[in-house]
Amino acid sequence: MSKKKIFNDPVYGFISVPYGILFQLIEHPIFQRLRRIKQLSLTHYVYPGALHTRFHHALGALHLMRQAIRTLQEKGVDISDEEAEAVQIAILLHDVGHGPFSHTLEHTLINVTHEELSTWFMEQLNEEFEGALSMAISIFQNQYHKHFLHQLVSGQLDMDRMDYLTRDSFFTGVYEGVIGYDRIIKMLSVKDDELVVEEKGIYSIEKFLIARRLMYWQVYLHKTVLSAEQMLVRTLQRAKTLARAGEAVEASKSLHYFLHFDLEGEDLLKERHTLLQHFASLDDFDVVAALKAWQHSEDEILSYLATSLINRRLFKLVFQKEAPTALQLAALQKELQEKFAYIEDADKYFLIKGKETNRTYSTAKEEIKILLKNEEVQPLSKISDYEIQNRIVAKNFLCYPKKVT
């Protein structure tokens, strides 16, 4: 008689979590903090339903992991109870190192990847739980001898992607991004320590790849979303510049710490303990509260950006095939200097150029492997009669205040 905690989830109906270490981790403040970090940053400025959090995503990925394990075990794949728990812990905590606004601010606040920070948090929790997370960490870092367990956490068909594509399409209302996660999971198997998909699941995989591509261009790289996120990055950069220059910039204690943070490499690692403590209390709310305060900042650049963001007065963003020419940039700079004559350096902060890339599927990275009916394993690109796209699709963009042509 195993008691379980049940969470309601509009996406999967019910999510059951066994009481024990998994539930204790969920209850932990470090994990509860994920309730205050939106999965999709400012995407809700375009898709108002996209307010779901990293907390919910982590629970969802755990749910799918439990299904995947059951499927694999039923097919005779050897997964011990200890391994099953470890891989569940790994997926539950895989995003615990995300900070405010997830990917958007990932390298703006501090130059450490969220995977690295996740590892640090897991190690800290491992101490607290007296070693109970060791195998999970080993799986997460791909050091465990059963490689396929790592692939379930991080790979072409991991439970992270299965959940985020499903969840993001659900909450944005972009139903065309829906994938057949349940069918894909039912088709998973393991061959020679490698996660594979049974041949009859091949159309579901193609569908998965095309749905992912659609989500990229329609949601993740939507031009208005991109504009808002670029503005947010610029705002935080400005705040950091001011803070480090000794100007007063309103911020919560932890945000204050990161605005002034300037360590790199070895020095940063030495500071790790304190850094992690501050990071653990930092979330979307610190940043939004700061933005609201910065509307009244004396710094014109900071207040312009903050006010625009809070009231959703977003910059125009234009995609173009080629990188902008010097001529194009000069013209825009001139216009910005005229429009914002009263602000020094306006063009530096208000004219944003960049490049976004996406490819449906790459044969360069680890490929999706298909298990043929004759028990042979082949990479997807060899099997599918759908021409797997290898070409990188890149789009340059320019982003600046509206009414500046």
Which 297-326 positions form the footprint of its own copies (CB under 8 A)? 310-312
The smaller minimum CB distance to its own copies, of residues 77 and 377, is found at 77
- List, as own/partner pairs, every contact residues 239-244 make where C-beta atoms lie below 8 angstroms and the sequence separation is at least 24, other chains included: 239/290, 239/294, 239/302, 240/108, 242/299, 242/302
In a 3-state reduction of DSSP, which class is residue 365?
A: coil
204 lines the binding site for its own copies (CB under 8 A):
yes
Q: What is the DSSP string of 61-106?
A: HHHHHHHHHHHHHHTT----HHHHHHHHHHHHHTTTT--TTGGGGT
Give the total residue count for the chain: 405
Binding mask 33-72 for its own copies (x = CB under 8 A): --xx-------x-xxxx-xxx-xx--x-------------
Point out which span in 1-9, 133-141, 227-235, 341-349 binds its own copies (CB under 8 A): 1-9
362 lines the binding site for its own copies (CB under 8 A):
no
| Identity of the amino acid at 85 | E
The smaller minimum CB distance to its own copies, of residues 178 and 323, is found at 178
235 lines the binding site for its own copies (CB under 8 A):
no
Strands 369-371 and 194-198: parallel
Point out which span in 101-109, 285-293, 332-340, 375-383 binds its own copies (CB under 8 A): 285-293
76 lines the binding site for its own copies (CB under 8 A):
yes
Task: Give the distance, in angstroms, between the CA of residue 38 and the centroid of all CA atoms in the same chain.
Answer: 10
Residue 203: CB minimum distance to its own copies, A: 4
Residue 138: CB minimum distance to its own copies, A: 27
Q: Give the count of beta carbons closer than 10 Å to the beta carbon of residue 282.
A: 23
Strands 4-9 and 316-320: unpaired
Considering only 81, 175, 266, 273, the residue that binds its own copies (CB under 8 A) is 175
Residue 55: CB minimum distance to its own copies, A: 6
Considering only 103, 256, 292, 339, the residue that binds its own copies (CB under 8 A) is 292
11 lines the binding site for its own copies (CB under 8 A):
yes
Point out which span in 91-99, 158-166, 204-212, 298-306 binds its own copies (CB under 8 A): 204-212
Residue 347: CB minimum distance to its own copies, A: 26
Q: Are 44 and 51 a contacting pair, CB within 8 Å?
A: yes
Number of residues that bind its own copies (CB under 8 A): 73
Point out which span in 95-103, 157-165, 279-287, 342-350 binds its own copies (CB under 8 A): 279-287
Residue 192: CB minimum distance to its own copies, A: 18
252 lines the binding site for its own copies (CB under 8 A):
yes
83 lines the binding site for its own copies (CB under 8 A):
no
- Site residues for its own copies, window 373-392 (CB under 8 A)? 385-387, 389, 391
203 lines the binding site for its own copies (CB under 8 A):
yes
- Site residues for its own copies, window 16-35 (CB under 8 A)? 27, 29, 32, 35
Q: Which among 164, 189, 193 has a CA at the least distance from the CA of 11?
A: 164
Residue 130: CB minimum distance to its own copies, A: 21
CA distances (Å), 357 to each of 36, 344, 405, in order?
Answer: 29, 32, 25
Considering only 37, 40, 105, 179, the residue that binds its own copies (CB under 8 A) is 179
Q: Are 339 and 276 a contacting pair, CB within 8 Å?
A: no
Considering only 83, 115, 182, 335, the residue that binds its own copies (CB under 8 A) is 182
- Rounded CA-CA distance 93/14 in Å is 20
Q: Provide the H-helix boundaries in 114-174.
A: 114-128, 134-140, 147-153, 159-172
218 lines the binding site for its own copies (CB under 8 A):
yes
- Site residues for its own copies, window 94-153 (CB under 8 A)? none
Q: What is the DSSP string of 235-276?
A: HHHHHHHHHHTT------HHHHHHHH----HHHHHHTHHHHH
User: Which residue matches tokens 């059963």?
Assistant: 146
Q: Give the count of beta carbons closer than 10 Å to the beta carbon of residue 241.
A: 17
CA distances (Å), 78 to each of 50, 67, 157, 191, in order?
Answer: 38, 15, 19, 11
263 lines the binding site for its own copies (CB under 8 A):
no
